Structure 1
């Protein structure tokens, strides 16, 4: 037990990575070059590699606590980012470094942390004990945790990683005392709702109160910073993607008659309507003309605004564009116009948004942040259209708003890249 704790400790993992990824490659080179440790270039490389490992390790630990995250998947991209930043700093500062040692260190740290992750799963299974009483009955249906339902207060605290209780329930005095003693012993105590949100990545929508959603206004400073970065990155992306736009436009024109771009009125930030730009992926359709009852016309508009499974309106090129998400690229124009963000709740067609608002309480609250090309609901749920699915999507959107941060956005970016390759959720 003591050896496993040492193995999983912060110091063992971090210093082991620094030793293997920075010092060990240098010792290998020492065999062929006796003066390697007297070289300022090599010393710069060793210090830089250690700094990149430390930054990557802290970043990985911070991201790994976000629900739905498989920590193993992010080892390579996170350390690739940290080593890329290191190379960029060394280049801009004109500091000499050894490429061979740096590259060897990068691959060594990848192997090290993948090995740590594999052995950690064999040594320790994350377990949570449940205090009976209140809204805890459905917890054991959630995967990813070994649940221990307590029957009395005699079980020692060290047999599980944390304690879960419905802290709003009317618990008996001996359970309240047990919860207090568990917290004093250093074992984390969680409220049932907190754990459920953490494991599902969804916020339960009960009532629009501070207890349900945290602060009703997301971090204002981060929102402004993100909006500025969105605009700058969209400008660079638009210039870089112009050749891609030209090729896709040509393919769309060759595949079917109609305009290259599809424009649709959607609900955006703070409920404002705007026109979203996408590459056209469906056959061009004429809007319904007169002779249709108002109620029938509204139902027809809703039906046309939704994309169904195996929708026959999708063109051959359109199907490829949808699967790869390339049809979303023209929305960089919306970002430049200040109407959208790269990341946020997906904007719905105005006709659908009005329908959902009439059917679902608190639906309009999702407009408190800028809508995005990708988002938390998209990477977890994919495309939806029915009211029931949209209600579930709201739980994901509210989780994003409640945990609005750089860290969550970083996770969404990396998982979106994976989804572009796999085509998850496309229609």
Structure 2
């Protein structure tokens, strides 16, 4: 009797030995270790280091090795998240890792080699940037699509080389994976084809899951597939997250308080009215709380509930600046200290808007299963949204964050928030 593999011949895209060798992360780490640490150390100190290295030299080698490993590990974890370009993040991540290790050594009264540190830092940043750039431009994801259910609708998503299948076979086309609607009633020959793909180590992805990791959103129309239990956030990480919030705020207050003082003076000098704006908003588990912001609007002007073309006559001159660079959000750090909010999470809506959205947006209140945040996944991906259509998309981002909440996702949001502050993306 013929086997399945003879009926449906398939091959993984990178199944050849040379492909597996070149794409091996362990080999890349080993190659990078020699290029960024071993060779520079030999060039600067010579072979004498291996015979009689002093304590500072040994500590320097250990520190740059740790910084190198941390840099590539962090980049690897973040690069797996949707829409991430590793070559854009390699320099800031490498800079933070090497600067942190160098500072720690100085605080511990060691005298690390500045020349070797700088050389290794430059080579690590260059190695990771070039590596991720090559991977991004010459290793485009290639996915085959089974023509049943929701799977074909994914072919409009950019950044992927889609290969639509007309029959249960790849016809010698090498792909990174196969996408199928596993909840659809597939014909027996297609089920055998998917089994054969698994046998040959070609990943088979469910259509809904593929949509999530390609777009960073959870579709509201298919929320029932996720089950409410799978959208429960990690309670263990929530405790760690609360500690990190407090630690970050206490560490940065000396830098932030002068900015807040200057902002308060500018608001007071521009015209009458309070410095702070307060409003009741819906928070954790649908409990109302009072949010604090710097006032950015005139107190004696009326306007429509929504703006057109990002223009609003109620916003002051100072308000336009502090809104663009998110300075108006700084008083919310005290909301975080009180426990009303977190640094990262879905943005809180006013009570009126929250009740209004609940009538028109399915599952809206479920976003309150976590603490609201000063910045969030929807803000860095989408920007400001007010209308129902925009809120639907925003809610898809919020649900993705709740489902995949983790340190690495929060770290990516922090990085993109810094970009947002510098560029003014999504302000109004």
Q: Same fold (TM over 0.5)?
A: yes
Give distance in 2, aligned partners of 1:185 and 1:156. Answer: 15
**Alignment partner, residue 109 of structure 1:** 124
- Quote the Cα distance in structure 2 between the aligned partners of 1:93 and 1:220: 35
Contact 2:140 2:159 in 1 (8 A): no
When normalised by structure 2's length, the TM-score is 0.90
Matched, 1:17 2:32: yes
Instruction: Compare 264-273 and 36-45 and name the one that shifted more.
Output: 36-45
Q: CA deviation at 1:39?
A: 2.1
Say if 2:188 is the partner of 1:173. Answer: yes
CA distance in 1, matches of 2:275, 2:207: 50
2:151 matched residue in structure 1: 136
Alpha-carbon RMSD across the aligned residues, in angstroms, is 2.1
Does residue 1:410 correspond to 2:405, yes or no? no
- Give 3-state SS (helix, strand or coil) of 2:319's partner: helix
State the alpha-carbon separation in 1 of the partners of residues 90 and 359 from structure 2: 44
Give the corresponding residue for 1:261.
276
Partner of 1:262: helix, strand, or coil?
Answer: strand
Matches of 1:225 and 1:307 in 2, distance apart? 38
Aligned to 1:384: 385
Q: Cα gap change, 1:213/1:142 in structure 2, threshold over 3 Å: closer, same or farther?
A: farther
Aligned residue-pair number: 410
Summarize deviations over 1:279-310 as a string: whole Å, max 9, x none.
Answer: 111111479xxxxxxxxxxxx9xx54x45521
Offset of 1:332 from its aligned partner?
A: 0.6
Deviation of 1:210 (Å): 6.4
Residues 310-358 of structure 1: CA deviation (Å, up to 9, x unaligned) = 1111111111111111111010111111101100000011111111112
Partner of 1:39: 53
CA contact (8 A) 2:140 2:161 kept: yes
Per the alignment, do residues 146 and 335 of structure 1 end up closer, same or farther by CA in structure 2, a change over 3 Å counting?
A: same
Number of the residue aligned with 2:420: 419
Please give the residue correspondences for 1:271-310 in structure 2 after superposition, counting only pairs within 5 Å: 271-285=286-300, 303-304=304-305, 306=306, 308=308, 309-310=310-311
DSSP-derived class of the 2:230 partner: coil
Q: Name the CA distance, whole Å, in 1 between partners of 2:363 and 2:402.
A: 13
Answer yes or no: is the 8 Å Cα contact 1:157–1:187 preserved in 2.
Answer: no
- Alpha-carbon distance, 1:93 to partner: 4.5
Once residues 158 and 147 of structure 1 are traced to their aligned partners in structure 2, the CA distance between those partners, rounded to angstroms, is 12
Say whether the 8 Å CA contact 1:129–1:149 is kept in structure 2. Answer: yes
**1:230 Cα shift?**
1.4
Aligned partner of 1:84 among 99, 109, 114: 99
- 2:237 corresponds to which residue? 222
Measure the CA separation in 1 of the matches of 2:202 and 2:103.
Answer: 42
Looking at structure 1, the residues matched to 205 and 416 of structure 2 have their Cα atoms a distance apart, in angstroms, of 27
Contact 1:132 1:150 (C-alpha < 8 Å) held by counterparts: yes
- Alpha-carbon distance in structure 2 between the residues aligned to 1:132 and 1:418: 39
Q: Distance in 2 between matches of 1:236 and 1:376?
A: 24
- Counterpart position of 1:296: none
Normalized against structure 1, the TM-score is what?
0.90
- Report if the CA contact (8 A) 1:59-1:78 is conserved: yes
Look up the match of 2:364.
363
Instruction: State the partner residue of 2:88.
Output: 73
CA distance in 2 between counterparts of 1:165 and 1:396 reads 23
**Of 100, 104, 113, which residue of structure 2 is paired with 1:98?**
113
Partner of 2:341: 340
Q: Which runs of 5+ in 1 are unaligned?
A: 288-299
